[in-house]
Amino acid sequence: MNFNLISPQSTGELLEVIAENQSNKFRFGAGCTDLILELKKQPDEELIVINLAQLSDNRFTSIEKNHDEVRIGALVTANSITSDEELRRRFPVLYESANKLGSRQIRQVATIGGNLCTASPAGDIACALAALEARCEILSANGITRIIPMNDFFIDVRKTDLKNDEILRSVLTPANNESPKVYSDYIKIGTRCSMEIAVVSLAYHIQADEDDKITKAGIAIGSVAPTIKLVKSACEYLIGRDFSAVSSSEAEEFAAKVVEYASPISDIRASAWYREEVLYNISKSIFEN
């Protein structure tokens, strides 16, 4: 495989490289688990790969936990997420999504930024972050940053809102550290147990008060539409309900609202009908003890 590799070490160098290459064909490479496969299928000798792996800037590489917000750098790996005990306690959905991504070897190098920017409808970490209503911090070659909700980041299959001179620097997640109760998990259905891209996925992070009354709900679905989707009306439906007392008819009504956001395709792994049925059933299952 032939391509030109540039490895900036600082953000200053990175921004210069992005600016200089605006009229060339270039791609970013982080863990390169997706990128290398793509380049093997479609080799391009003129392509410049801007390798992010040697970048030393905490805003890209570290996890910062503040009272109101958790900032996760785009170069943080799935493995770093699963080995962070505090993240695991506060955001089980995020832990589960990272833990279910690929194999141990893949998790070692696969980054959050790569998972988001590849914009696959099956992205595990992306689905969890959508449920957490995370926001994307985007840096442009002129040094200006903008922050957008994750829901606006995904435009279409494998298409994000990033412009040619922009890079994802970090993801900002509300800290959610004051809810007495949190129900949070990532359900991934595949055709086999390991190394499987989701056929259907559902991420939820539901917060409740001392009386189990739901105060906030974030639910996102994957592999059932061109992009990962936050299912807003289904989230709103839950507000004010008692989590442990959601009846089976309410669970069904909720599941029907989730499915309204799905527009699945049939492919080699599953039919559209199967995907909708599974989505309906796993949505209901959130409330089963």
Using CA atoms, how far apart are residues 119 and 156, in angstroms rounded to an integer? 8
Name which of 48 and 256 has its Cβ closer to ligand FAD. 48
Shortest separation between residue 45's beta carbon and ligand FAD, angstroms: 18
Name which of 34 and 96 has its Cβ closer to ligand FAD. 34
- Nearest C-alpha neighbor of 234 from the set 248, 221, 223: 221
Provide the Cα torsion 72, 76, 82, 85; round to 10°. -50
End-to-end Cα distance, the chain: 51
> Which residues contact ligand FAD (rule: CB under 6 A)?
27-35, 37, 74, 101-102, 106, 109-111, 113-115, 117-118, 122-124, 162, 167-168, 195, 197
28-46: burial string, b at 16+ Cβ within 10 Å, e else: bbbbbbbbeeebeeeeeee
- Nearest C-alpha neighbor of 273 from the set 286, 258, 284, 262: 262
Name which of 123 and 218 has its Cβ closer to ligand FAD. 123
Shortest separation between residue 153's beta carbon and ligand FAD, angstroms: 11
Using CA atoms, how far apart are residues 9 and 235, in angstroms rounded to an integer? 42
Shortest separation between residue 241's beta carbon and ligand FAD, angstroms: 31
Cα separations in angstroms, 240 against 89, 114, 217? 24, 36, 10
Shortest separation between residue 62's beta carbon and ligand FAD, angstroms: 14
Shortest separation between residue 236's beta carbon and ligand FAD, angstroms: 27
Name which of 26 and 243 has its Cβ closer to ligand FAD. 26
Name which of 37 and 245 has its Cβ closer to ligand FAD. 37
Shortest separation between residue 176's beta carbon and ligand FAD, angstroms: 23
* Phi, psi torsion values for 137, nearest 5 degrees: -100, 120
Name which of 6 and 106 has its Cβ closer to ligand FAD. 106
Shortest separation between residue 38's beta carbon and ligand FAD, angstroms: 7
Name which of 27 and 88 has its Cβ closer to ligand FAD. 27
- The residues with which 250 forms a beta bridge, in sequence order, are none
Residue closest to ligand FAD, measured at CB: 114
Q: Which two tokens stand for residue 61?
A: 């590489």
How would you list the strands of the sheet with 181-189, edge to edge? 181-189, 200-208, 214-222, 229-230
